[in-house]
């Protein structure tokens, strides 16, 4: 279920910062790849292991030979052309380019290299160009000492008929294979109320192309949410908008649990810091934000069916049917969002909003494995609002309970002499 990665505005000492690294696996296009992961303050770096080709179907868990993998973008190159100069004629179609991406340049101490060939476009139709080809010249213009920008300009002004002198460099192909696979991992953060400064990962000039730096701010950390894992080896991390996902698999359940705790702690620290920065902006919009973070919610209709079948039962909470929900508790309201609110407009537009004056904490409990859940009676047609929190549900529960108690005590009682 979803880890309670929220913030109640507390502070943690710098010594609490967790740094962890090790070998895990990540899921890309239905295939598991072995990766080196390093957890820093507020981001996770993921780099493909050098031996990734031999571990794409570890433990036989994925045996579908029809699965399209990033490796399918690369064509086997005939041995005869390796390190041999070739001249390839490319004819561009109207309103289209060559259909290639390039990397390198003299400023990077690299030749100009073809890093990607787009299917169905001019370069691909020649069937004579390969990822890993170094472009030596374009229509006779020497590019051996060209910068990346100079090469781009030369290719763009080459006209409809383009003559490329190339040489295949076999040693760079593994690098581009890794970069192609890892490019599908992770996400970038948008700017807004929750992030004013650039994320902590290295600046673009210092980033490695075969490594992804996944920001953890406002991320949703989960287990057994969308990846059924009876062995408890998989950790799920979702982007704040819920669009992107990162699945990591550890060699054993104990290692997975350790990584899960470490990632959750990093998410919690980043969330607390961001909320502290955003609180002055949010105060005039939604009130004083006491708590914000991801929980899992059981849809009301499913809950009503279960209640009808077994009222008051203490069944184990199944992953099926639970949905990630971003919850914010202010001094006046319980606010639910489908994604982490990133702007003032988003904070003002929750999917559901309940007044604390008409809300009560019905129950909360811990499961045998440490999982936690709480039920909130919101005084609406939806009835009981059931939320699940794995790890430590107490901060949200205590804050909600205290706020509800304060609201109740502030209401006029039956013996009050105040006019109604």
In a domain, 156, yes or no: yes
Percent of the chain whose pLDDT exceeds 70:
66
The pLDDT, as a whole number, for residue 97 is 87
Local confidence band at 259 (pLDDT 50, 70, 90 cut-offs): very high
Give the residue among 30, 33, 37 at the shortest CA–CA distance from 56: 33
Tell me how many helices (H) and strands (E) the chain has: 7, 20
In a domain, 254, yes or no: no
The pLDDT, as a whole number, for residue 255 is 96
Query: 296-347 pLDDT, tens per residue?
Result: 887 765 444 554 444 443 434 444 567 888 999 898 888 999 999 988 899 9
CA 119 to chain centre: 27
In a domain, 29, yes or no: no
Asked whether the beta carbons of 112 and 141 are under 8 A apart, the reply is no
Q: Is the pLDDT of residue 250 over 90?
A: yes
Backbone angles phi, psi at 154, to 5 degrees: -65, -40
The pLDDT, as a whole number, for residue 409 is 44
Top mean-pLDDT range of 3-7, 77-81, 158-162? 158-162
In a domain, 79, yes or no: no
Query: 274-286 pLDDT, tens per residue?
Result: 888 888 889 999 9
**Stretch 65-92: mean pLDDT, rounded?**
70
In a domain, 327, yes or no: no
Q: What is the DSSP string of 312-377?
A: T--PPPPSTT-EEEEEEEESSEEEEESS---SHHHHT--SEEEEGGG-EEEEEEE-TTSEEEEEEE
Asked whether the beta carbons of 23 and 32 are under 8 A apart, the reply is no
Q: Is the pLDDT of residue 382 over 60?
A: no
Q: What gap in Å lies between CA 136 and CA 129, rounded to an integer?
A: 13
In a domain, 99, yes or no: yes
Q: pTM surpassing 0.85? A: no
Q: Is the pLDDT of residue 35 over 90?
A: yes
Q: Residue 41's beta-bridge partner residues?
A: none
**Stretch 23-45: mean pLDDT, rounded?**
91
In a domain, 155, yes or no: yes
Lowest mean pLDDT among 19-28, 346-355, 362-371: 362-371
How many residues are there in the chain? 420
If DSSP codes are grouped into helix, strand and coil, which group holds residue 129? coil
Q: Which structural domain range is residue 112 located in?
A: 84-169
In a domain, 199, yes or no: no
Residues 6+ apart with CB under 8 A from 62: 30, 31, 32
Tell me how many domains the chain contains.
1
Give me the CATH number covering residue 103.
2.30.42.10
Q: What gap in Å lies between CA 141 and CA 153, rounded to an integer?
A: 11
Q: Is the pLDDT of residue 30 over 60?
A: yes
Give the residue among 249, 178, 253, 189 at the shortest CA–CA distance from 216: 189
The pLDDT, as a whole number, for residue 33 is 92
Percent of the chain whose pLDDT exceeds 90:
33
Q: What gap in Å lies between CA 75 and CA 331, rounded to an integer?
A: 60
The pLDDT, as a whole number, for residue 343 is 87
């Amino acid at each position: 279920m979803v880890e309670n990665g929220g913030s109640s505005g507390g502070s943690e000492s710098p010594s609490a910062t967790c740094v962890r690294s090790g070998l895990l696996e990540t899921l890309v296009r239905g295939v598991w790849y072995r990766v080196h992961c390093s957890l820093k303050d507020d981001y996770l770096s993921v780099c493909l292991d050098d031996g990734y080709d031999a571990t794409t179907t570890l433990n036989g868990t994925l045996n579908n030979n029809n699965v399209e993998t990033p490796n399918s973008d690369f064509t086997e190159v005939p041995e005869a052309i390796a390190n041999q100069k070739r001249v390839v004629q490319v004819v561009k179609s109207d309103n289209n380019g060559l259909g290639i991406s390039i990397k390198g340049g003299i400023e990077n101490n690299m030749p100009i290299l073809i890093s990607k060939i787009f299917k169905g476009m001019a370069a691909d139709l020649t069937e004579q160009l390969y990822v890993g080809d170094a472009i030596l010249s374009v229509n006779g213009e020497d590019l051996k000492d060209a910068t990346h920008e100079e090469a781009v300009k030369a290719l763009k002004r080459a006209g409809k008929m383009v003559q490329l002198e190339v040489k295949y460099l076999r040693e760079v192909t593994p690098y581009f294979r890794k970069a192609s696979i890892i490019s599908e991992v992770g996400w970038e953060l948008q700017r807004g109320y929750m992030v004013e400064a650039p994320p902590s990962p290295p600046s673009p000039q210092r980033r490695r192309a075969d490594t992804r730096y996944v920001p953890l701010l406002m991320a949703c950390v989960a287990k057994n949410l969308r990846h059924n894992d009876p062995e408890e080896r998989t950790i799920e991390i979702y982007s704040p908008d819920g669009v992107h996902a990162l699945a990591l698999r550890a060699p054993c359940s104990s290692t997975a649990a350790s990584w899960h705790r470490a990632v959750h702690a990093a998410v919690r620290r980043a969330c607390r810091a961001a909320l502290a920065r955003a609180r002055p902006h949010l105060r005039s919009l939604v009130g004083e934000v006491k708590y914000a973070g991801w929980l899992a919610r059981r849809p009301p209709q499913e809950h009503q069916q279960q209640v009808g079948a077994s009222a008051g039962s203490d069944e184990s909470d199944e992953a099926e049917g639970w949905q990630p929900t971003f919850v914010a508790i202010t001094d006046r309201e319980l606010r639910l969002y489908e994604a982490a609110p990133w702007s003032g407009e988003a904070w003002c537009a929750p999917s559901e909003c309940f007044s604390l004056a008409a809300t009560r904490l019905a129950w909360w409990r811990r499961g045998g494995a440490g999982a936690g859940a709480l039920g909130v009676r919101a005084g609406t047609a939806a009835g009981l609002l059931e939320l699940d929190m794995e790890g430590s549900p107490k901060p949200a529960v205590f804050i909600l309970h205290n706020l509800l108690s304060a609201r109740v005590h502030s209401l006029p009682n039956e013996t009050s002499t105040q006019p109604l």
